[in-house]
Chain A
Amino acid sequence: MTPPGTSAPLLQISGLTKRFGGFTALDNVSVDIRPGERFGLIGPNGSGKTTLINCISGAFRTEARTVVFRGEDITQLPAHVRTRRGIARSFQIPRPFKSMTVVENLMVALDFAVATDPLVSAAHRHETAMSILAGMGLASKADASATTLSQVELRKMELARAMATRPKLLISDEAMAGLSSSEVDEVLDLLMSLADQDITVIMIEHIMQAVMRFSQRVMCLDAGKIIAIGAPNEVMANQRVQEAYLGT
């Protein structure tokens, strides 16, 4: 594995601006994410973190060449094509497919996101889904309805579903919000283990210990602008970051 920084960026955001009417949610944001990087994204509420994720994953459209993934301009692609290209995400508020069981939730990803090989049978795909669930510690819940899961299980299922799309870039949008501290550690360990599998992870989080432990680099947004980017310690020590969080 090449150390971060030496290879071409996996994701290039350049000059990204997103306006909703007169409100500028993202203002000229530029950042490169390197392959294999563990990237933390922080910022106070309303600073544009989720908007940025939506622009990357395709829920929002942006101007040409503002989002380049693996050297390709993806701004014109709908979200499902971006998923197939290798961008997966979880949602701030879990969005399971409620009428399905846990394993069926993953089967959606396997049916649609992964290039279909006619030789790969449904049984084989089911096996793949089960092994992903086992990796997440959800194997015992495979046949349970998605509505019966606890909060932490839902978070894990979202990550499992995202993983089933075989992503190169995984964006975790506050996967730890509302969890107990032991559950936070559980989910954090999971994300760490994914990053070890050569998957680049962007983590949005408000829980600072988690961000500090996880990230190789941290970026802080405030009112749609990047106010600090760099090593976690430096960003935390940054005067403007502290002001943004504590208010002045």
Chain B
Amino acid sequence: MKRNGIFFWIGAAVFLIAIALMTKLITNEYPFFAGYVILQFIVLAVAWSILGGHAGYVNFGTSAFFGMGVYTAVFLFKVAGAPLLVQIVAAAGVGALMGFALGLLTLRMQGIFFSIATIALTIVIETSITNWRYVGGAAGIQLQRPPVTWPFSGYVQMLFFVQAVLVVLAVVVSRYIQNSWIGRGLQALRDDELAAECTGVPTLRLKVLACVVSGALMCAAGAPAAMYLQYADPSSAFNLNYSVSTLAMSLIGGTAHWAGPIVGAILLGTTQQLLTVTISSEVNVLVLGVMLVLFVVAAPEGLIGLLRRVRDKRREGKQ
């Protein structure tokens, strides 16, 4: 376990150094544009699986959190020209509050009812933003990027690096939860909420905690998107595609291990980027659907579950 930990931290450091080097060595902006989207989906998928994977509460409201992240950034930028870091931290705070509210919902709603409520949440928030003139209303809002700060050579490079830091943060949190008593408690309540409660697990507190952490990370992942696009409008910030893609990435990667959503997000995110460039952005939604169906049938526990099964079989074979 200890050795695993060292490898993990070395891996995280190498990843960040590699990203930093990329921003120095690659001059073409396109890899950063594409890479940013993939990194953003890694954060979303990892954050989603904290609630959806560990606790088993399927959240269709990823886009609500993402969109709120975008609009927190827009609002702060318009009101005070807040720097990126402030935008992200504030978005995380907003996400945590939203998560708290969502967590209280689980008090009365379980299973499918919870999921439906999260869809409703998205619609309610999107409608509110659409009718809020100050942040652009339905027409959206243009944003002028401030000059980039040292040591970055371009704003997109900086956003790329910032999103990579968020990836590391999300993975560290998710890994910690999985390996700690929190993870065991969430797993217990996913299996059987009443039995968990009667075994001493404070189910409500853990669910609220999972919602808060998951929500904060999702919102934080959305915050830089305003500056990335230099434009925000409700129908794209709250696009249901974020919810569906995030869910698909988590499930295809597998939620039994923290690495699952990363694998899923890289696999699906890269595929989507390639398809968008080579064919069309409509086709990538189709491919997403087909892949989801294939995985539900062939590997219901995702790639991580598939790998585990193969490994277990091999071990049995040896014995």
Listed in ascending order, the chain A residues whose CB lies under 8 Å from chain B are 57-59, 78-80, 83-84, 88-89, 91, 95-100, 104, 107-109, 111-114, 161-162, 165
**Hey, which chain B residues are within 8 Å of A91, CB to CB?**
194-195, 198
**Hey, which chain B residues are within 8 Å of A162, CB to CB?**
199
Q: How far is the CA of A98 from the CA of B184 in the complex (A)?
A: 13
* Contact between chains at A80 and B197 (CB < 8 Å): yes
The 9 closest A-B pairs by CB, nearest first: A113-B200, A112-B200, A95-B195, A97-B191, A83-B200, A79-B197, A108-B188, A111-B181, A95-B192
List 8 contacting pairs A-B, 8 Å CB cutoff, sorted by A: A57-B198, A78-B197, A91-B194, A97-B188, A97-B192, A99-B187, A109-B199, A111-B185
Say whether, besides A97-B188, A104-B184, A112 and B201 are in contact (CB < 8 Å).
yes
Neighbour of B202 across the interface among A104, A109, A112, CB < 8 A: A112
**Hey, which chain A residues are within 8 Å of B199, CB to CB?**
80, 83, 108-109, 112-113, 161-162, 165
**Does B190 lie at the interface of the complex (its beta carbon under 8 Å from any beta carbon of A)?**
yes
Chain A residue at smallest Cβ distance from B193: A95
Q: How far is the CA of A89 from the CA of B195 in the complex (A)?
A: 9
**Does B172 lie at the interface of the complex (its beta carbon under 8 Å from any beta carbon of A)?**
no
* Contact between chains at B196 and A108 (CB < 8 Å): yes
**Hey, which chain B residues are within 8 Å of A113, CB to CB?**
199-200
Most buried by A among B185, B188, B199: B199
Q: How far is the CA of A91 from the CA of B194 in the complex (A)?
A: 10
**Hey, which chain B residues are within 8 Å of A78, CB to CB?**
197, 202, 204
Q: How far is the CA of A88 from the CA of B191 in the complex (A)?
A: 19
Say whether, besides A99-B190, A100-B191, A83 and B198 are in contact (CB < 8 Å).
yes
**Does B72 lie at the interface of the complex (its beta carbon under 8 Å from any beta carbon of A)?**
no
Say whether, besides A80-B203, A83-B200, A112-B201, A59 and B194 are in contact (CB < 8 Å).
yes
Chain B residue at smallest Cβ distance from A94: B195
**Hey, which chain B residues are within 8 Å of A98, CB to CB?**
191-192
**Hey, which chain B residues are within 8 Å of A58, CB to CB?**
197-198
Chain A residue at smallest Cβ distance from B205: A80
Residues B184-243 near A (CB distance < 8 A): 184-185, 187-188, 190-192, 194-204
Q: How far is the CB of B290 from chain A (nearest CB, A)?
A: 28
Say whether, besides A91-B195, A95-B192, A112-B181, A100 and B187 are in contact (CB < 8 Å).
yes
**Hey, which chain A residues are within 8 Å of B197, CB to CB?**
58-59, 78-80, 83
Most buried by B among A108, A113, A162: A108
**Hey, which chain A residues are within 8 Å of B202, CB to CB?**
78, 80, 112
Q: How far is the CB of A57 from chain B (nearest CB, A)?
A: 6
Chain B binding surface, main DSSP class: helix
* Contact between chains at B194 and A107 (CB < 8 Å): no
* Contact between chains at A112 and B185 (CB < 8 Å): yes
Q: How far is the CB of B304 from chain A (nearest CB, A)?
A: 13
* Contact between chains at B198 and A84 (CB < 8 Å): no
Q: How far is the CB of B192 from chain A (nearest CB, A)?
A: 5
Most buried by B among A58, A88, A107, A112: A112
* Contact between chains at B201 and A108 (CB < 8 Å): yes
Neighbour of B198 across the interface among A88, A100, A104, A107, CB < 8 A: A88
Q: How far is the CA of A109 from the CA of B202 in the complex (A)?
A: 11
Q: How far is the CA of A78 from the CA of B206 in the complex (A)?
A: 14
Neighbour of A97 across the interface among B196, B203, B204, CB < 8 A: B196
Chain B residue at smallest Cβ distance from A89: B198
Q: How far is the CB of A168 from chain B (nearest CB, A)?
A: 14
**Hey, which chain A residues are within 8 Å of B181, CB to CB?**
111-112
* Contact mask for chain B residues 165-189; partner A; CB cutoff 8 A; 1 contact, 0 none: 0000000000000000100110110
**Hey, which chain B residues are within 8 Å of A96, CB to CB?**
191-192, 195
Q: How far is the CA of A98 from the CA of B192 in the complex (A)?
A: 8
* Contact between chains at B185 and A108 (CB < 8 Å): yes
Q: How far is the CB of B207 from chain A (nearest CB, A)?
A: 12
**Hey, which chain B residues are within 8 Å of A100, CB to CB?**
187-188, 191
Q: How far is the CA of A79 from the CA of B196 in the complex (A)?
A: 10
**Hey, which chain B residues are within 8 Å of A80, CB to CB?**
197-203
Q: How far is the CB of A39 from chain B (nearest CB, A)?
A: 19
Q: How far is the CA of A142 from the CA of B52 in the complex (A)?
A: 28
Chain B residue at smallest Cβ distance from A59: B194
**Hey, which chain A residues are within 8 Å of B201, CB to CB?**
80, 108, 112
Q: How far is the CB of B213 from chain A (nearest CB, A)?
A: 19
Q: How far is the CA of A107 from the CA of B181 in the complex (A)?
A: 10
Q: How far is the CA of A114 from the CA of B200 in the complex (A)?
A: 8
Chain B residue at smallest Cβ distance from A109: B199
* Contact between chains at B200 and A97 (CB < 8 Å): no
**Hey, which chain B residues are within 8 Å of A108, CB to CB?**
184-185, 188, 196, 199-201
